[in-house]
Structure 1
Amino acid sequence: MDNCASPHSITGHPPPKTRSSVSLSKLLDYIQPELSRKQYRIIKNDKGLIEAYKSAGIDRVEIGRQICEWGKNSGDEAIVDISSKVGLLLQEMGKLSEPYATALEDARGHLKIIRNIEKIVQPIRNRKMRVLDKIQKIRTKTPSQNIKLAALEQELVRVEAESLVAEAQLTNLTRQNFREAFQIELAAAIERAEKEVILAKHGFRLLELLDANIVAPGEPYVPYEHGVQAHQVLSDAEANLKEYQPDDRYRAPGGSGILVEETADEVDQQVNINGWGVAQS
């Protein structure tokens, strides 16, 4: 593990939203097709969540660095050594937020695929309902218009065939991508949590080396003699992280689970409503 080092950059809290940005957000929400509106909100909120995890990780790294710096100026040999190593463990915990946020981005990409297929299916549903409404009106008001009725019934057959394929794809792609999205997210959550547990347990080992017994004024403190042990704790933590292997039961699909965001955004061009699945590029 590196010595106490500053992170590359430190972000503050995002500026408050202006009235116009809030109005634009509501407008974008309103114009979404009904079928994809809820998924749109989930994806939008996920973006804020991802940024929050990134920001929290950066803050954790900075706090760990500050603890190192504080300990150096304490004048207490025990605090100097233990605080520097605890600070390093906290920095390593903070660094775990970046790969976790990346996994959330990958999961969010799968949710975008669901949203985009929902956006495609909604107009097909609407068209089918319009044709059915027209047929119903003709049958109730002008039953003699057999030619127009026959044309609408033929159109209904075509729309129903298109709808059948689209609805099947909606179900197939939704199940597939919902499963993969949360396998990625939950696998990343497990890995992050297990690595944090590793670091936290070694942190407790370090703290046990710090004599916190109360000493009366004027009495000498017990000399700190655990430098070698503290260094070994840090080496053990580093080795345990390198040796870490996730449980095969909780692995994300496809290994890395990487999904390019642009691909998810363009899935509406890839979906083939005249066949099954997604058209291969």
Structure 2
Amino acid sequence: MLIKEYRIILPLTVEEYQVAQLYMVAKKSKESTKDGEGIEIVVNEPYEDEKSKGQYTHKKIYLANSLPRFAAAILPASALVVEEKAWNAYPYCKTVYSCPFFGEKLTLSIESIHKAGRGEEDNALNCNKETLDKRVVDVIDIANDPIDSKDYIATEDPKIFKSEKTQRGPLDTKDWQKSCEPVMTCYKLVHAEFKYWGFQTKVENVIQKTGVRDVLLKAHRALFCWIDEWFGLTIEDIRRIEEETKNELQKKISEQNEKKK
């Protein structure tokens, strides 16, 4: 198992991030649903148990065009679908990913906590000593970390973006994380495990790099640069947007399935 803790420092308040993250997820879901792949929202509803209460979501993620062509050609359909189940009791959230084809041989879980500050807390998620000894801390810089040229979008570049509504940005210095105000950090503890002898280390590293870190970097670059779209929205506004997004995605997925027949 490979355990990493990603720390994403942002020029936002913890309260702002709650709305920003939900808005970003809805918009990214719509953008990524096309040409046989994308996201289907199965459930999005409040939950409450003995430990917490918040919003529960169950999604299906279709990966047909995200894999190399040879892999998509030889793998069964069940291997091209990932299920995401998330319990969002903000500022804490737990997300679990699974793939029916691999069963218990492939597991990916993410625990997140969102706190004010510049990522200084060494054990924000109250990990035990065994986990602390195994984890690798990785601080993500949304402005300065390299991004693949094919993924670069100028309007989602924090180094050149300036918000009209908040006057935040551009994040054009190497040490912007040390001076920006307001400031908060997303702490994300990620467990990745692939129980196939001979492939475990390589696949776990690919999952952490391509499946998690790269996604977090791109998503949070967009989240900041979309601030003028979500700033001022309420949770009620977000729930309405989520419901509209769910209906739109269901329609897209249905149309894509019809084309396959």
Query: What is the TM-score of this pair, normalised by structure 1?
Result: 0.21
Q: Which protein has greater RCO, CA pairs closer than 8 Å, 6+ apart?
A: 2
Largest Rg, 1 or 2: 1
Higher strand share goes to which structure? 2
Higher helix share goes to which structure? 1
Query: What is the TM-score of this pair, normalised by structure 2?
Result: 0.22
